[in-house]
Amino acid sequence: MDFQKLCTFNTFKRWWSHYGYGENLQDVIEKEFKRTKGITYLDHAATTLYPESLVRDYFQDISMNVYGNPHSHHPSSRLTHDTVERVRYRILQHFNTTPEEYSVIFTSGCTAALKLVAESFPWSPQSENEPGSLFCYFTDSHTSVVGMRGLTSAQGAVALPVSPQEVENRAKDEAQGEDVICQTAHLFCYPAQSNFSGRKYPLSHVRGIQTKRLYPACDHQGHWFVLLDAASHVSCSPLNLQECPADFIPVSFYKMFGFPTGLGALIVRNNAAGILKKTYFGGGTAAAYLSGEDYYVPAANISDRFEDGTVSFLDIIAVNHGFEALDRITGGMHNIQQHTFGLARYTYMLLSSVCHGNGRPVAQIYAEGQFESLSTQGAILNFNLKDSHGQIIGYSQVDRMASLYNIHVRTGCFCNTGACQSFLGISNEQIKRNLQAGHVCGDSLDLVEGQPTGSVRVSFGYMSTFEDCQKFLNFVSECFVEKPVTVDQVRLEKLKAATAASYGVDEDIPIRITNGEISRGGAYTLTNIYIYPIKSCGAFEVQDWPVGPLGLRYDRSWMVVNGNGVCLSQKRERRLCLIRPEVHLPSNKLLLQASGMDTILVPLENNTQTHTNYRVCQSKVCGDRVETVDCGDEAASWLSDFLGQPCRLIRQSPDFTRDMKKKPIGAATTTSLSLVNEAQYLMINRASVELIQKLMSSRQDDSEGDQLLDTQNVISRFRANLVIAGGEPFEEDNWPHLIIGNTRFVVAGQCGRCQMIGVDQETGGRTKEPLMSLSAYRNGKVTFGVYLTNQLPEGSTETGILSAGSLIQTQSLK
Which residues are the active-site residues? Answer: 415
Compute the distance between CA of residue 572 and CA of residue 584 in angstroms, rounded to an integer. 28
Compute the distance between CA of residue 573 and CA of residue 639 in angstroms, rounded to an integer. 12
Give the count of beta carbons closer than 10 Å to the beta carbon of residue 521. Answer: 12
Q: Which residue type is seen at 119? A: E
Compute the distance between CA of residue 574 and CA of residue 453 in angstroms, rounded to an integer. 71
Give the count of beta carbons closer than 10 Å to the beta carbon of residue 43. Answer: 18
Give the count of beta carbons closer than 10 Å to the beta carbon of residue 119. Answer: 17
Q: Listing from the earlier edge strand, what are the strands of the sheet with 558-562?
A: 558-562, 647-652, 624-630, 616-621
What Rg value do the Cα atoms of the chain yield, rounded? 29
SS3 of 442, please? coil
**Inter-residue contact 320 to 307 (CB < 8 Å):** no
Measured CA to CA in angstroms, residue 86 lies from 98, 316, 694, 814 at distances of 12, 10, 46, 46
CA torsion, ordered 233, 238, 244, 249, to nearest 10 deg: 50
Q: Which helix (H) or strand (E) element contains residue 800? A: strand 800-803
Per DSSP, helices labelled H in 65-199 are: 75-94, 110-120, 143-146, 149-152, 164-169
For residue 118, count CB atoms less than 10 angstroms from its CB and return exposed for 0-12, middle for 13-18, buried for 19 or more: buried
Compute the distance between CA of residue 81 and CA of residue 76 in angstroms, rounded to an integer. 9
Compute the distance between CA of residue 384 and CA of residue 424 in angstroms, rounded to an integer. 10
**Which of 109, 105, 118 lies closest to 279 in space, CA to CA?**
118
Measured CA to CA in angstroms, residue 485 lies from 1, 11, 345 at distances of 11, 18, 21
**Which of 389, 374, 368 lies closest to 508 in space, CA to CA?**
374
SS3 of 19, please? coil
Measured CA to CA in angstroms, residue 156 lies from 114, 128, 186, 220, 643 at distances of 18, 14, 12, 16, 73
Measured CA to CA in angstroms, residue 118 lies from 78, 101, 266, 344 at distances of 33, 22, 12, 34
**Which of 221, 208, 211 lies closest to 176 in space, CA to CA?**
211
Measured CA to CA in angstroms, residue 425 lies from 448, 458, 594 at distances of 13, 21, 64
SS3 of 432, please? helix
**Inter-residue contact 517 to 22 (CB < 8 Å):** yes
**Inter-residue contact 57 to 318 (CB < 8 Å):** no
State the sign of the Cα–Cα–Cα–Cα dihedral 94, 100, 105, 110.
negative
The strand pair at 158-162 and 134-138 is best described as parallel
Residue 704 DSSP class: G
Compute the distance between CA of residue 537 and CA of residue 732 in angstroms, rounded to an integer. 26
**Inter-residue contact 752 to 709 (CB < 8 Å):** no
Compute the distance between CA of residue 103 and CA of residue 301 in angstroms, rounded to an integer. 9
**Inter-residue contact 662 to 670 (CB < 8 Å):** no
